[in-house]
């Protein structure tokens, strides 16, 4: 082909030396035009037709191929292959230049291949994420390992082309660089091992609410990658945690709560122990007007009376035998109040218990589960319950323990100041 062009140029009167040079220029221009034509055919016709077919298909998973530009990146091979095949013909007789262009186009095609692999793997991740299973078994870290291996192999091939050596020759020399490579890819190796353990043991997944005080993380997991875990905190800030830290350090995962039928309410009311006393008849009469305590007081008084009678205790002194107390009656009221509360899940752990006395008073701990797990609703339910329980404490002759405030000291100081006057 090149000789025909040169002969034609010589025939029309051009010098033989110039005709050969002009023929190469014309042929180079033809190659470039063919490359542009191949690019037009690949991108303008083939890719556009396939993209239209994908958009109109009844499947949705193939949309990821368009979103990640897989077809567009593949189309770039068309002009590269044309130039790679025809460039040696145009540069016939110029071995160095021909070899240089050929090597350059090989490198271009390797880079294009890596970009295609990257786009395909990204599309695979997008497709996988459209399935519910992806939340339990994330594959992003494994995909990143595949990308890392692919790019490493691609770099080996590029270096072998530049140096004119076979890839096996370069790979044989990597033994001495193993320690250096392990140091460079330390985080990637640790992250890969950690990712396998996280996935195998289902320790953390995308969408989980985790809490890790060491890194200031408290929010939803956005992404689990090869080297990092991205957490969006409740204030919308992003915390990045090394993947291997989730294996070596302690963290709290709230997934169990999210998957259960309720959210735990665990809080104690500290009772001032100076206000705890046995119930007299006046107190029992007042308590009897509380509807939630009707059945409890009737059953409990009959039980205590039968026990004291069986033991022949002197009923004149309330210290003898068993008696009702105001704190015990209040605890029974809490149980009855929570039992009839519509937002308490009675099918889960339900406990109202008295803990050991402390310098801050006698704790009455409530350990129940709300039906609503949404944070704002949960806090509202919890607040409503304790608003009521704190407000009714004086009705039982009890007082909540709290540290003295400034007003307390002022009330103590006022009588002393009046006496001084």
pLDDT, tens digit, for every residue of 2-12?
455 545 445 45
Give the model's pLDDT for residue 43. 84
For 357-370, write each residue's pLDDT tens digit. Answer: 999 999 999 999 99
pLDDT tens, 43-55?
888 888 888 888 8
59-99 confidence digits (pLDDT tens): 777 788 888 888 889 988 988 888 888 877 766 666 777 78
Task: Give me the pLDDT at residue 4, please.
Answer: 53
Segment 295-323 shows an average pLDDT of 82
Confidence of residue 146 (pLDDT cuts 50, 70, 90): confident
Tens digits of residue pLDDT in 332-350: 999 999 999 999 999 999 9
What angle separates helix 326-339 from helix 375-391, to the nearest 10 degrees? Answer: 150
Nearby residues of 133 by Cβ (< 8 Å), 6 or more positions away: none
Looking at residue 26, its pLDDT comes to 63
With b for 16 or more beta-carbon neighbours within 10 A and e for fewer, the 369-387 pattern comes to bbbebeeeebeebbeebee
Q: What is the pLDDT of residue 348?
A: 92
By the 8 A CB rule, do 362 and 276 touch?
Answer: yes
More confident residue, 156 or 7: 156
Instruction: Please determine, for residue 374, whether its predicted confidence score (pLDDT) is greater than 50.
Output: yes
**Mean pLDDT of the 382-404 span:** 93
Q: What is the mean pLDDT of the chain?
A: 83
More confident residue, 240 or 58: 240
Which has more confidence, 403 or 378? 378
Determine the angle formed by the axes of helices 326-339 and 294-310, rounding to 10 degrees: 140
Q: Is the pLDDT of residue 420 over 60?
A: no
Q: What is the mean pLDDT of residues 105-114?
A: 92
User: What domains appear along the chain, each with residue ranges and CATH number?
Assistant: 2-130 (no CATH), 263-404 (3.30.70.100)
- Residues of the chain with pLDDT > 90, as a percent, come to 33
pLDDT for 375: 86
**Residue partners of 349: CB distance under 8 A and separation at least 6:** 367, 368, 369
Residue 18: what pLDDT? 47
Tell me the whole-structure pTM to 2 decimals: 0.59
pLDDT per residue over 209-264, tens digit each?
A: 899 989 999 999 998 877 788 999 989 999 999 888 888 888 999 888 888 889 99
Close Cβ partners of 232 (under 8 Å, ≥ 6 residues apart): 219, 220, 222, 238
| Mean pLDDT, range 388-404, rounded to an integer | 91
Residue of 146 and 267 predicted with greater confidence = 267
């Amino acid at each position: 082909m090149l000789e025909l062009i040169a002969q034609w140029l010589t025939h029309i009167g051009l010098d033989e030396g110039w005709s050969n040079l002009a023929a190469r220029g014309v042929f180079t221009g033809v190659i470039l035009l063919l490359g542009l034509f191949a690019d037009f055919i690949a991108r303008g016709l083939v890719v556009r037709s396939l993209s239209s077919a994908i958009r109109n298909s009844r499947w949705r998973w193939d949309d990821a191929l368009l979103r990640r530009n897989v077809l567009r990146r593949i189309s770039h091979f068309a002009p590269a292959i044309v130039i790679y095949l025809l460039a040696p013909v145009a540069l016939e007789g110029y071995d160095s230049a021909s070899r240089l262009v050929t090597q350059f186009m090989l490198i271009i095609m390797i880079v294009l291949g890596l970009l295609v692999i990257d786009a395909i793997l990204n599309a695979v991740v997008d497709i996988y994420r459209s399935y519910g299973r992806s939340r339990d078994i994330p594959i992003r870290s494994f995909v990143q390992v595949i990308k890392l291996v692919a790019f490493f192999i691609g770099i080996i091939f590029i270096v072998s082309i530049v140096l004119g050596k076979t890839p096996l020759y370069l790979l044989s020399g990597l033994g001495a660089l193993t320690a250096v490579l392990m140091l460079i890819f330390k985080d990637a190796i640790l992250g890969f091992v950690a990712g396998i353990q996280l996935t195998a043991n289902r320790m953390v997944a995308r969408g989980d609410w985790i809490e890790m005080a060491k890194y200031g993380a408290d929010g939803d997991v956005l992404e689990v990658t090869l080297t990092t875990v991205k957490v969006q905190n409740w204030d919308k800030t992003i915390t990045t945690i090394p993947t291997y830290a989730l294996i070596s350090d302690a963290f709290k995962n709230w997934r169990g709560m999210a998957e259960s039928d309720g959210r735990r309410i665990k809080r104690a009311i500290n009772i001032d122990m100076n206000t705890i006393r046995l119930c007299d008849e006046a107190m029992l009469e007042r308590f009897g007007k509380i509807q939630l305590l009707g059945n409890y007081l009737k059953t409990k008084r009959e039980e205590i009376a039968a026990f004291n009678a069986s033991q022949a205790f002197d009923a004149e002194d309330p210290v003898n035998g068993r008696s009702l107390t105001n704190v015990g009656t209040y605890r029974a009221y809490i149980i009855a109040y929570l039992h009839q509360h519509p937002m308490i899940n009675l099918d889960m752990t339900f406990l109202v218990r008295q803990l050991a006395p402390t310098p801050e008073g006698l704790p009455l701990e409530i350990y129940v589960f709300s039906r609503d797990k949404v944070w704002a609703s949960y806090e509202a339910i919890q607040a409503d319950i304790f608003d009521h329980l704190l407000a009714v404490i004086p009705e039982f002759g009890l007082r909540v323990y709290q540290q003295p405030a400034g007003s307390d000291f002022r009330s103590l100081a006022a009588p002393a100041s009046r006496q001084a006057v």
